[in-house]
Amino acid sequence: MSAQPPGAQFAHVPLSADDPREIGGYRLRARLGAGGMGIVYLAHTPGGRPIALKAVRGEFAADPEFRRRFADEVASARRIHGLFTAQVVDSGVDAPTPWLATAYVPGPSLQQVVERHGPLPARTVLLLVAGVAEALQAIHAAGVVHRDLKPANVLIAEDGPRVIDFGIARAADAGGLTGAGLRIGTAAYMAPEQAQGFVVTPATDVFALGSLAAYVAGGVLPFGGGPESGALYRVVHEEPDLSCVPSDLYDLLRCCLAKRPEDRPVPGELIDAVRAHPAVGGRPEFTDGWLPRGVSSEIAAHGEPLGRGGYGTGQHIRPEQVHVQPTRAAVPTPTAVANPASTGVARPASDFGDRVAPAPRRARRGRSRWPVAALTLALLLALGGGAYYFYDHGKGAERDASGGSHGPSPRPSSPAATSSSPSPSSSSAGPEYVQDYADAELTAPDPDYEFDLAAGKVVPAETVDWYLEVADGEFVLPEDSDAFVAAGYVLSPAECVRGIETEPVTDLPFDDLADERPFCVRSPDEKSIVIVNLIENLPDEGSVTVVMSRYRESG
């Protein structure tokens, strides 16, 4: 759901002028954080009990399918009464801004514990496995699959762990919001069936618990970090790296990480295995000493730890961590993109007069592209071209049965829909164009990701050749690509070519692209055009959202 889950103790930030003072009858006291689905506030019940209240973002609240699923998942979550879960105490699913309130847990996330204190002792890990397994029993008994169990979604209190965000991630797993290619979950903790877009079951959560426990015990992700594509490939095709895990935990975690769901233990069997383990001695109890002294002292202090961020903010990001925010990929229309190098179509002579030489452009970030590109190529070859988006696996039959592909839904209320969907032959001058993908709404969560103009998706930075990079408040283009910014709010491929020939630009600062003003980028071979609208730029979070449509010369 987000790296900043409700229920955790966050760094308290005073309410701003834009924040509400009350939601659903609860007094808001501070802002705890913001995540992919909403903003989390510290609130109090009328009797003074603290709660964590999450208000859903407007773009989700405006989607009827999201609201329906959100209501269903909240109803299921309210039936969960496990002692190792953060209880849902109230909700407003029909409010103009839907919200959810959970018990407030004054403790750090398991992710933060490991980052601050390192791997935990074997006995502590075993007790955590038992506690989380008991939480999963309660979650699964209510007919819910968590889908995003990870250290950031497990809070540590003095009397044991608390699992949060159970099942709510499914509310965002709606066709109108995810589009094709979006995976709900975090790559490093996904089960193989989830990574491939197959049906998730309670066994999916057991696999995630195994990955979580391996990370907590060894301090290393069992399937590695880096780009999501690499982690997903290893989850599906390779065995976990448990070399850093204590030997007396190896067999238990290896069973959880079985590739086939039916080969994994159920939560009750995990609890029995923990009880039988010599390090626990038949008594899995969260008494004094179950945590290392440093962790216990931090929790007992109930204060703000040193360093960046507070409890549950998810801001202590280590280099090997993968990004937790999913993105969506554009699905090509039936006129699939042709390989420009193999079409053999010569470009007609320009009708637009002498071309204006563009100004020198800003250089791309100074990291070497070759190692990442080589890794990506190897992954793509190994997967037959499917390493990046396992979600599409198994969906081909569905697309064939419906007679076409399912691309992103149009945005009729946005200028982007008008400006990025012109008629392919809106001008008689120059070549005609056919559309490869249309109105792909994409979000690059931070500067470590960029937009793949050819495929219409978000990819790790420096892994493709025709890209739109996000850097320091502007877009950065490849040195061999050209761009043009429209004077108005409608831009066709023909107008793009005319503009590039007469008024090319190399600088694309966000300030010049306000109000979804369209711009276009031409491929190095001059046969493809991508029309782009900047939809949202969140400097504080580092995320940038665009809508893109690609056209190529017909012939």
Contact 271, 130 (CB under 8 A): yes
* Annotation marks residue 525 as catalytic: no
Residue 71: name the closest of 100, 93, 39 by CA: 93
- 104, 289, 324, 337, 408 from 334: Cα distances, Å: 50, 62, 31, 9, 13
Residues 210/211/212/216 CA torsion (nearest 10 deg): 100
- How far is Cα of residue 169 from the mean position of the Cα atoms in its chain? 11
Residue 168: name the closest of 102, 246, 254 by CA: 102
Give the angle 93-172-540 at the CA atoms, nearest 5°.
95
As a whole number of angstroms, the distance between CA 389 and CA 195 comes to 9
Residue 134: name the closest of 163, 105, 111, 175 by CA: 163
For every residue of 437-504, DSSP letters joined together read EEEEEEEE-STTEEEETTTTEEEETTS-SSEEEEETTEEE--TT-EEEE-SSS---HHHHHHHHHHS-
CB atoms within 10 A of CB 343: 14
- How far is Cα of residue 406 from the mean position of the Cα atoms in its chain? 21
* Contacts for 263-268: CB closer than 8 Å, 24+ residues apart: 264/203, 264/206, 264/207, 264/210, 265/206, 266/202, 266/203, 266/206, 267/133, 267/134, 267/136, 267/137, 267/140, 267/202, 267/206, 268/133, 268/137
CA atoms within 13 A on the CB side of 372: 16
Find the catalytic residue in 63, 148, 165, 173: 148
Residues 161/164/167/168 CA torsion (nearest 10 deg): 180
Query: What angle separates helix 122-141 from helix 202-218, to the nearest 10 degrees?
Result: 160
Residue 343: name the closest of 480, 479, 457, 436 by CA: 436
Query: Binding site for ATP: what residues are annotated?
Result: 54
Tokens of 444: 């690059």
Residue corresponding to tokens 């960046």: 308
Query: Binding site: what residues are annotated?
Result: 54
The stretches of 238-318 forming alpha helices (DSSP H) are 247-256, 267-276, 293-301
Q: What amino acid positions are annotated as catalytic residues?
A: 148
